[in-house]
Amino acid sequence: MISQLTGKIVHQINNYIVLDVSGIGYKIFVTANTIKELEKILNKDITIWTHLAVRENSLDLYGFLEKQTLDFFEMLINISGIGPKTALGILNVATVETLISAVSSKDTSYLTKVSGIGQKNAEKIILELKNKIGDIDYINPNNQNDLDVIDALKTLGYSNKEAVEALKKVPQTITDIGEKIKKAIKFL
């Protein structure tokens, strides 16, 4: 599976980019917001977090600038009836933080803006996401260290909720990832 690519953008259109990685061009579907962000960093190497969607007749890459957005995308596509294109459509409507807030408050208005998602489907998505995101809104999406600590704890076999709860107890003055992991494990 291709989970991350680093290279230069050689082409971009409304809903995808072509990323040149060592002479190979990867077509990566992205959100409109990602396109806007990438326009600011032209002619520089960029790193894209990716999800490879394997279908009977295609292999499609979906890319995101932040790991949290990729994680949210993967949560969406694990919901029955939500494919990668619909999940990308949902992420085109609002930021991950806004969507998490909407899920927490059971606000379906953002989801119903997406083509093909009615009120019933929006309620179903919120119900399924509510259980999956748990306390994810605690995590600062700009703090990659916290995300790395949670990923490490999940790799060790702890659930997302357990990892987040343990991280909450770690003093914010500790910035080293290794130290944060050690402290978090003590609370588990």
140 pLDDT band, cuts 50/70/90, is: low
pLDDT in tens, 59-115: 999 999 988 899 899 999 999 889 999 999 999 998 887 888 788 778 888 888 888
Share of the chain above pLDDT 70, in %: 94
pLDDT of residue 139: 55
Q: Is pLDDT at 135 greater than 50 in this prediction?
A: no
Helical H segments across 49-139, by residue range? 67-77, 84-93, 96-104, 119-133
Do 4-64 and 67-133 share a fold? no
Superfamily of domain 67-133: 5' to 3' exonuclease, C-terminal subdomain (1.10.150.20)
Cα 169 to its chain centre, rounded Å, is 24
pLDDT digits (tens, 9 = 90+) for 1-58: 789 999 999 988 889 999 999 999 999 999 998 998 888 877 789 999 999 999 999 9
Instruction: Tokens for 66, please give them.
Output: 């932040």
Give how far Cα 164 sits from Cα of 15, 92, 151, Å: 33, 27, 10
- Dihedral of CA 6/12/18/20: which sign? negative
| Helix or strand run (H / E) with residue 4 | strand 4-12
pLDDT for res 134: 56
Number of neighbouring beta carbons within 10 Å of residue 143: 13
Question: Domain 4-64: which topology?
Answer: OB fold (Dihydrolipoamide Acetyltransferase, E2P) (2.40.50)
Cα 174 off chain centre by: 25
Domain locations in the chain as residue ranges = 4-64, 67-133, 137-187
Position 7 scores a pLDDT of 95
In order, the DSSP letters of 50-66 are EEEEE-SS-EEEEEESS
